[in-house]
Amino acid sequence: MAHGNINHVEFPADDPERAKRFYSAVAGWSFSEPEGMPGYHMFQSGEGYGGAIGLRGVSTGPRLRLYIHVASVEDALAASTANGGTTVEPKTDIPGWGWFAVVDDPEGNQIGLFEAAPRE
């Protein structure tokens, strides 16, 4: 996946089961709950692309969040800060997947940054 691609979207839901039924019917997505991530219902919308539905403010943030694939979370956080962004969640490990962080852009939009772990 290339640097800068949007690769993941999180849908916060007050009723995740209702949201899953909606997106299954509308988009044809099926969901699975990854080991170690209770209440986080992932879907795939294309090769390397997808997202998740989770309980608002519990297993996801309080609002819709897009994740951008970056070559380096550290570099992206530094660029964000240098250009008026604010770090909301620092670089955090996702075991077996990579790392993420969350920033607010200067316009008040919240985005996630994702760096994939090297594949062996």
Q: What is the CATH number of the domain that holds 31?
A: 3.10.180.10
Backbone angles phi, psi at 96, to 5 degrees: 85, -10
For the chain, the domain total comes to 2
Asked if residue 87 and residue 55 are part of one domain, the reply reads no
Whole-number pLDDT of residue 3: 87
Asked if residue 14 and residue 52 are part of one domain, the reply reads yes
Q: What is the pTM of this model?
A: 0.83
74-92 pLDDT, tens digit each: 999 999 999 999 999 999 9
Structure tokens that stand for 42 in this block? 């992932």
Asked if residue 120 and residue 78 are part of one domain, the reply reads yes
Pairing, β 86-94 against β 49-55: unpaired
Whole-number pLDDT of residue 14: 96
Q: Which domain holds residue 92?
A: 70-120
Tokens 């062996």: give the residue.
120
Whole-number pLDDT of residue 61: 87
Whole-number pLDDT of residue 108: 87
